[in-house]
Every structure is written in structure tokens, then in C-alpha cells.
Amino acid sequence: MNAADLGLPVDVPSTALFTDQYELTMLQAALKAGTAERRSVFEAFTRRLPSGRRYGVVAGTGRVLDAVENFRFDPAVLGFLRERGIVDEPTLEWLADYRFSGDIWGYPEGEVYFPGSPILRVEGSFAECVLLETVILSILNHDSAIAAAASRMSAAAGGRRLIEMGARRTHELAAVASARAAYVGGFDSTSDLAAGFRYGIPTVGTSAHAFTLLHDSERDAFRAQVDSLGRGTTLLVDTYDVTEAVRTAVEVAGPELGAVRIDSGDLLLVAHRVRQQLDELGARDTRIVVTSDLDEYAIASLAAAPVDAYGVGTQLVTGSGHPTCSMVYKLVARAESADAKAPLVPVAKKSLGAKSSLGGRKWAARRPDRYGMAEAEVVGTGPVPAALADRQLLVELVKGGEVVGREPLEAARERHIKARSGLPMSAIQLSRGEPVIPTEYV
């Protein structure tokens, strides 16, 4: 079974109410004014990266495609809108037949982005496009924030394995999305079974401190776990005394013991001591897994420690201090009439301060330097320069209302590794800095 084909795993009839009320009241007013069917172009982008971050990571694209397909106003949803008097009857009749029939282009999932990058471009009538604003931003802002944190942690881990284990630190549905985004950003597995079921992400997990405390002795707990899960299991060794626990673990499981997990204390010091003890006991192949409120900085600080894997929870699922990417969804072009042949006119909000935007349907390309590394994110509204024609970033995701850009999650994960490796080396520095490449408008 392909779990990704099961549909959105939430107990609501559709994604149509994952929206703000003003999307529907704008629709009602536009229908009455006769402007609802004007051809329009919306773009999702961010004006700036979170403070100190050097690049962003596109994640959630696959979930956006699911959400667009599930954006339906069924009788129960229409009944709710009617009962609350949110929109009038002509608008309800229009919503009853809603199916997105436009086109969506965007950066493929796993790609990196920068300020001004047109991460997603949605084209169709104003009415059908405006309704998707909230759900698109909800998904992209959350998932991209988690993926960016995961990418930084992955870079800091230097090839060591990463386990996502933040399900208990966030909303139960956000936990599933977080596990997916973390996988895109470079994590190897998750503790969340719902994420494994829906997205095919490898799942891991053995025992917690409660299992040790349940038994009359630590030896009894280890014996019970090894008898059930085999010698290759991971034993948690910091419930009482770490040194004694490691000795007991090897006595119970033998040198074939798969791993030990350390969840407290000075991880750098304890990991060195545990590695030495394991080697002295003949368990040279037994791995060391560390957990305990890790983030990218803590992971980097353990680079010299004999650690084989990191388990990360709270800091990952909260974006390591940046739980959103501040993406916006703006109308950048629209036709002057509902005539399908009417030309598009660039539009943009004029604002003092930092809330201005650039009108016009945009393309984007990443220009390399003479060594093949990225040196600029080039964004334009006119013809694409010949030198950048084969370096355009946007791909077709939805055509005429039909999803054409769905892909396996592994593809997004592999794309991110490639995209990150194509940035200047300073991109993976954890110190605060500006975006690693500038955005140029042409």
C-alpha cells in the first residue's frame, strides 16, 4: 500500500475550512462586483530569511498538492457556512462547484530559496486562487521552517544519523508534518508511526526510562528488552548509574549489543567514557546514541565525541527558534477583465517600510560562478536571459487543475542534499550571517 495515496489524515471533511474568513468574504464581494473571474497570478515568497539564517529550504510542496486536491466544499462545510451567515447564497452555490482548475508552478521540494524567491506561483481566476492562500501558507511556512532547522542539524551532524523524535512536543498532526519535513531536510528516521505509515519514513524506537523503572532491577529490564527485541536493540543506560548500566548491558546482550542511548548529563564527557568502556568490554561495534534537548549547536559541539546518532525533538519541531518562515501570498498580476484573452497587468502593494513587493509574473534561476557554485538568485519578470535558460528553478506542479508534479519523498530529500552542496561553503556555518547569495532582480 502507498500510504501517500490515503488522503489527508485529519478528521475533517476537506481542507476547504483551513482558511481565513476574509478569503470567502473577498470572494463574495468579487462575485458581486464581476471581478472574481479575472485571470490572476499569486506568488508565495518571503521578504527576508529568519534572523541569522543563510538559506531557506522548500518543504511541504507535496502536502500543498494534497491540500489543493482536497479543497472541496461538501454539504457539511456549506451547511456550516450557511448557518454562520459567513457568505450569501450565490457564493455558497459557487463554492459548491469549486474545483481548482488553474496552474501551479513552484520550486521543487527540497530546493533552497532566498529572499524574494517565487517559491510558488498560482495562476487561475482570482476566485479560485485567493481561496488557497491560507492553506498554502500554513503548510509552506510550517514545513519549510522545520526543514531549514533539519538541514542545519544535518550539516552539523556531518554524516552521522539523525532521528526525529519530537511528536510529544507539538500538535499531533503537526508532528506528522514535522517528521516529513525533517526527512526532506536530512533526517534519517522518525519515532512517529503516523509519519511512517503515511509517508514511508523509516521508524525507530525501543524503550524509555519508564520501562527500566517498571522492573525490579536494571538488569531485569535489559534482559526483558533483549529477550523481546534481540541483541541488536538499543538500551537506555542513564536511568541510574551510567557506568554500571553499560557494564550490565554488555553482560546481558553480549558484544553484539546494537547501541546504548544517553539522555542526560554532560554528553561530550559521558560519550567518551561510554565509548572507552564499551571498547574495553569488547563491544567495539556497539553504537552510541545521544538525545536530551539537542539543537544544531549542541550537535556541532559533539563533533569530536564518539557519537553515532543524534535524537532530536523539541528544537526540531519548533524550527530551532524560528517556527515560521514569514512567507506571504501576494497577487502580482491580474487581467483587466474576465476575458480569457485579456493581458495580464502587473500589480503590487505600495507600502512604506519593509512590506512592499514586486509586481509581475516571475521566473527564477540560480546563476553559478566559474567554479559551478551558486553566486546569485536571479529573479525576473521579462524574458529569461539565454545564459540562465537551463537553470530555471520553477517546475510545473499543477496543470489545468490536475496534479502533474507529485514525486516520491526520497526525491525531495536527495534534491536538498544536492541543492545545499551547490551553495558556497559558508552556507552551513552556524554563526549568524546574511543570505549566502544575494537576490538580483532583472
In this prediction the pTM is 0.94
Say what the pLDDT of residue 227 is: 98
pLDDT at 13 over 60: no
Nearest 5°: CA angle at 323, between 319 and 327?
A: 120
Q: What's the DSSP call for residue 319?
A: G
Which is higher by pLDDT, 36 or 6? Answer: 36
pLDDT at 388 over 90: yes
Distance CA 223, CA 251 (A): 10
Retrieve residue 51's grid coordinates.
534572523
Residue 188 DSSP SS3: coil
Beta-sheet strands, E only, within 277-373? 287-290, 309-312, 327-335, 344-346, 363-368
Mean pLDDT along residues 212-228: 98
Which contiguous run of DSSP H or E holds residue 126?
A: helix 126-130
Say what the pLDDT of residue 2 is: 45
pLDDT for 190-206, tens place per residue?
A: 999 999 999 999 999 99
Q: What is the mean pLDDT of the chain?
A: 95
Q: How many C-beta atoms surround the C-beta of residue 140 within 10 A?
A: 25
The closest alpha carbon to 126, from 269, 338, 282, 328, belongs to: 338
Mean pLDDT is lowest, of 11-15, 63-67, 239-243, for 11-15
Say what the pLDDT of residue 10 is: 41
Say what the pLDDT of residue 354 is: 66
Max CA distance (Å), the chain: 80
Kindly indicate the confidence band of residue 421, based on its pLDDT and cuts at 50, 70 and 90.
very high
Contacts of 114 (CB under 8 A, 6+ apart): 49, 55, 56, 377, 435, 437, 438, 439
pLDDT for 317-373, tens place per residue?
A: 999 999 999 999 999 999 999 998 899 999 998 876 667 778 999 999 999 999 999
